[in-house]
Structure 1
Amino acid sequence: MAGAMAILGSSILALLLAGYLAQQYLPPPKPKVIGVDLGTTYCSVGVFQPGSGKVEVIADKAGRKSLPSVVLFTDQGILVGYEAQELADANPLNTVYDAKRFIGKRFTQEELSTESSRYQFKILYNKGDAEFSVFANESLRISPEYIGSLLLLELKRMAEQYLGIPVSKAVISVPAEFDERQRNHTVKAAQLAGLDILRVINEPTAAAMAYGLHKVDVFNVLVVDLGGGTLDVSLLNKQGGMFLTRAMAGNNQLGGQDFNQRLLQFLFKQFHQRYGTVPTQKQDVHHLRQAVEAAKLNLTLYDSVQIRVPLSLPDSSVGGGEDEDGGRGSTVLFEETVTRDLFEGLNRDLFEKILDPVEEVLSRGHLSRYEVDEIVLVGGSTRIPRIRQVIREFFGKEPNTSVDPDLAVVIGVAIQAGIMGGSWPLQVSALEIPNRHLQKVNFN
């Protein structure tokens, strides 16, 4: 009997040793499940690397780790991401973006009419659902989940190219306020792209996981998610590895695009003062928008930036040269110095609006600002120094900025994907407690 026990013990020890040696010296297996962040403005895909325990956010061929959530329909085919974004100003009627705002959501005709007035592409009412009308050789009616599937298909291709194997399983994130129908339609979009969704995770929970809060002893977590077009604030309670969303508030019409628009309008006024006209050619406006976006990003690092954009002067007798609309005109190099103080001044009221939903979620969660253990920043617009200052001054403490805010959600989703795929070293999984009666308050 003793000999049998000794043999059994030796066998178990040998198995453990073999497992240890395999982890140390054999190449780790390929990730089996991808994590996807299907964002309103940008989307991303990541994987949890077995063995190292690190998350890799997958980049495209140009090294970019986020894909614009933009789809353009042309007579020659469908363009997705950066290719669509580049041509958006030249073909606005057939360029669809912000599809996530409409996916699975029910509208009245009046609500949809109000919402559609913000877009150049045509939005149609179909028995409570939104559809997009585009023209590519023929008139097409496109569902929001079809737009989502095209974006997810591109992310799937990026992952397959990076991993060198077919990908069919994923974890996907959704806003915490999405109801069951919106979640189901998001899953349907993934299925159209050939992805089997193993789990749907709330974006604030994913962000908290990216910051490692599922593994540490915190209780009250405030997630401020400010992206290109929307602001979402969520108050999470965490006990052990379980997250409960206690309150949500936000502004569906506040984000980086609005900050850009303020600066763009300022530049239009400066141009008009100097030349008595404003840029009208689509290509000029597109280049100016690109310069504004670059300036906003650079102002997070520098006190001032210089904008230099060649722009056309229509109907000018100086210089000559035909513009794209067939008129005669000249080209001038428009130059303007933009300081951080100027940018903050143009957007001061918008930056202060961020505190409205913050105060609302604290009120509904019956918390004072000083009872918040962690403030997590998500979304590229939270890089803006003045926004961080507003949040820091309100709470009297530094927000957590240790994770790239653009990638926080996809990193958290990829961690959950690794857990679902059984990757080692195993992480502590986050469980979400459903709160069916929770409603989001909007400050529009």
Structure 2
Amino acid sequence: MRHGQLCRQRRLRRIVIPLAVAIFILLGFLYSSEPYRNEKTGLEPQLGRTAHTSSSTTSERTLLRNITEAHSPTKPIVLPILVIVCDRPSVVRTLKALLHLRNEWKKEDCIRFPITVSQGCDHRETADILGTYGEQISIIRFTDNSSLPKEEYNLKKLAYRSIAHHYKFALNYMFFVRNHSAVIVVEDDLDIAPDFLEYFAATLSLLEADQQLFCVSAWNDNGRPHLINLERNDLIYRTDFFPGLGWMLIRQFWLEIYKGWPDIYWDEYLRKPYVRQNRSCLRPELGRTTTFGRVGVSSGQYFEEYLRTMHLNQVPYDFMKADLSYLREPSYTRQWIEQVYKNVQHISLPDLLNNHLPDPGPDISLHVTYNSLNEFIRIAQHLNLMFDVKSGVLRTAFMGVVPAYWKHRQLFIAPPQNWTTYNVSWV
């Protein structure tokens, strides 16, 4: 069921159920009143009538209570947002955006978004800023008291290690202490799109129902303007590459993976084949997050070349009212194969690299085949795609296929159609 439909049903219940209860009470009152009962039977002794009325009233109250409890409006879904913070006072930028969206949210009767901030560094300026938010947010604090690593780490690796420990602490708290069923994870350096909450609220039911999914992400690794269709703010893809940077997971997945949580590089852990187990994530065509964190642990490994120009969607799309059934399996994979291999115009690698492309048309999609990692890298460098590979999986790939919107044409960069699995030796 779409969450939009769920919201409408809950609003209807809030009207219908009180009305039904009121009618029930009125009928009970009329039935138990003396004139009505005497007119109806006229045969009961006074004592009998009194005893029967008292018993009837008690019975009716019990029945009424049972009906009310059984059919009371469903409680709102609680979809918490966990903000991971260290030593960035600029987290105020992320929190301001989240609080603004939450204040503008009109569906509190269906889904609510409490915000928990987990601070993992003893940074006074950041802590003071968080303290100014009062009851708008909840704050937890992480202190890394773990023993020294077995191998020698430089300062950068030690920072990555502490981040991995912080994530485990914060997610354990959300799932085991607060007992949440799903969590949206947000880093402290993200800008947020105006339909960020809509996007996650609408995809929650897909993530909960589909065992072939393990996350929903707001991030598109190739989400720069020259690689995306700026008119398709409605479009969502499945991807085999864990994107992160504003993502949602459910309790069931955390129960599965938390015991194997790594000492360092937590995001690489989620990309391992034995963790992913052929499952995918959902991600948007137009990103619902971008990062402003040029200064940080990764010190902008890709920031200037890739991240600085990422597009953040600014035109809200009402995902809650949208039909997202196209994302369900097995129909998604069947349609994907049709799109990528059959309903396309095939072009050669040399033609693509030399920009010898057919004239654009509304229904024309292009397909170029790569047969090796080297060929894919040549294509990626030509289009300025991110071309690093993690556990054999290309960024944004689904079934080995990387989609892009290139020179006003949908382009599928695909392996041969007999492709079966990712090559983990591609690193």
Please state which band the TM-score falls in when normalised by the shorter chain: under 0.3
Task: Give 1 or 2 for the bigger CA radius of gyration.
Answer: 2
* Structure that is richer in strand per residue: 1
Normalising by structure 2, we get a TM-score of 0.27
Normalising by structure 1, we get a TM-score of 0.26
Higher relative contact order (CA 8 A, sep 6+): 1
